[in-house]
Structure 1
Amino acid sequence: MKKALILFAIISIATISRAQNVNPSYNKALADSLGADDYGMKPYVLVILKTGPTKIEDKKKLDSIFRGHFNNIGRLAKKGDLVVAGPLKKNDKTYRGIFILNIKTIEEAKPLLNTDPAVSSGVLDYELFQWYGSAALPMYLPFSEKIEKTKP
């Protein structure tokens, strides 16, 4: 009988502790729609864009490549494959910017990156990393459009 009471006490404490960790604001439908795990997180691919091996002196050609780069960013964002993009300030490395891709594997990232004219021309190169972040990250994009006074 004593063992049964101890077992009951342990189970009760474990149940109470688990209940205290449940988020009262949890929205299962939203979490599922975003691909969130129990912690509200999911895998992404972090891309660090860096200066590539190709040097282009022709300003018109370089401008065209970067116009294509920006258009590609918009296309990937609309498709839902890209959730964050932005330049880095000058640094002592050759890092130029970052992307966070809404995909799970590095293998999936390479074909997406090759659609970028700056990458495919060699003006930009990249390093890829698995990243684990908030599944809600893509939700900021609809608000970004509303606060952007000037388009790049």
Structure 2
Amino acid sequence: MKNILYLGLLILGMLSRSYAQKTNAKYDHLLADSLGADNYGMKYYTFVLLKTGATKITDKDSVNRLFDGHMKNIQRLAKEKKLIVAGPFGKNERDYRGIFILNVKTIKEAEALLSTDPAIKTGLLISEITLWYGSAALPLYLEASEKVNKFEF
């Protein structure tokens, strides 16, 4: 009985060591804190799927003005570091138009930011919002993206 207990404790000790977490030697707590990272280097964002809305506008100048405002709003939100990722989809049968990843933790905050977009306000685009858990380093992408754009929008 004593040997079985000893063997059980030995196996338990080996298992606990094999699953023990190791501290990352490259961990930079100041950077992690500045980005709002948790212990796994992650944080919550809001993921926005933009789809074709129900509003139909036939006047091309009006549509162009709305989408010009949409692009200016994207640029403003990126400068404010609220918008981390934005981009359109190619043609598809699901009416998907593009995505945003917003650097906010709640759907309510995302809705407030999206309400400033003229294409969404008029119903040309509609949004589906969900929380997304991703790398806290994602905002660093913005710094690099500014250096690879040959032309400005």
Q: Same fold (TM over 0.5)?
A: yes
> C-alpha separation between the residues in 1 aligned to 2:18 and 2:115?
51
The aligned residue for residue 51 of structure 2 is 50
AA aligned to 2:95 is T
Q: Secondary structure at the match of 1:137?
A: coil
The aligned residue for residue 95 of structure 1 is 96
The aligned residue for residue 151 of structure 2 is 150
How many aligned residue pairs are there? 149
The aligned residue for residue 72 of structure 2 is 71
> C-alpha separation between the residues in 1 aligned to 2:136 and 2:92?
30
Structure 2 vs 1, CA of residues 124 and 14 (structure 1 numbering), >3 Å: closer, same or farther?
same
Q: Secondary structure at the match of 2:129?
A: strand
What are the residue-to-residue correspondences of 1:99-114 with 2, within 5 Å? 99-114=100-115
AA aligned to 2:101 is I
AA aligned to 1:124 is L
Do residues 83 (structure 1) and 84 (structure 2) align? yes
Q: Secondary structure at the match of 1:23?
A: coil
Percent of residue pairs bearing the same amino acid type: 54
> C-alpha separation between the residues in 1 aligned to 2:15 and 2:99?
46
Structure 2 vs 1, CA of residues 27 and 16 (structure 1 numbering), >3 Å: closer, same or farther?
farther
AA aligned to 1:89 is G
AA aligned to 2:56 is K
- Cα drift, residue 151 of structure 1: 2.2
The aligned residue for residue 140 of structure 2 is 139
Q: Which runs of 5+ in 1 are unaligned?
A: none
Structure 2 vs 1, CA of residues 117 and 13 (structure 1 numbering), >3 Å: closer, same or farther?
same
The aligned residue for residue 37 of structure 1 is 38
AA aligned to 1:148 is N
Q: Which runs of 5+ in 2 are unaligned?
A: none
- RMSD across aligned C-alpha pairs, in angstroms? 2.2
AA aligned to 2:53 is G
AA aligned to 1:31 is A
Q: Secondary structure at the match of 2:104?
A: coil
Residues 23-53 of structure 1, C-alpha deviations (whole Å, 9 max, x = no match): 1000000000000001100000000000011
TM-score, normalised to structure 2, is 0.87
